[in-house]
Amino acid sequence: MNIDTIRTRVENGKWLISHHADQAAADEDISIAEIRSALLNGEILEYYPDTGRGESCLILGYAGNKPIHVVCGWRKDAVVIITVYIPRPPKFVDPRTRRRSS
């Protein structure tokens, strides 16, 4: 899956938000519209070929000036949002850079 395919599916309404992602979004004060915006203007930062449940990726996108990380996988016909969060310390140095463990 590539970012263009993800964007096309989101634009066509072929995306689902998992219960976990819905809870994470509420905890982080991220709206559904902000998740959609992040997906439509985002870039794939990390690609995970197989996490035990299939392929997935980490996308960095923005809703206005708010950076949002979206972890998504896919089914045959839809993008599945696994989790969302605001990238911040201590795990991230900045929205693009994961802090190295010592």
Q: What are residue 5's phi and psi, to 5 degrees?
A: -65, -40
Question: Range of 83's domain?
Answer: 3-93
**CA distance linking residue 39 with residue 21, whole number of Å:** 14
Per residue of the chain (102 residues), give pLDDT as tens: 799 999 999 999 999 999 999 999 999 999 999 999 999 999 999 999 877 778 999 999 999 999 999 999 988 889 999 999 999 999 999 999 888 875
C-alpha to C-alpha distance for 31 and 35, rounded to whole angstroms: 6
What is the count of structural domains for the chain? 1
Q: What is the CATH number of the domain that holds 42?
A: 3.30.2310
Quick check: 64 and 29 in contact, CB under 8 A? no
This prediction's pTM: 0.92
Which 3 state secondary structure label does DSSP give 99?
A: coil
Would residue 56 count as lying in a domain?
A: yes
What does the pLDDT read at residue 102? 59
Cβ–Cβ under 8 Å, residues 31 and 64 = no
Instruction: Identify residue 24 by its one-letter amino acid code.
Output: A
pLDDT of 51 reads 72
* 98 within some domain: no
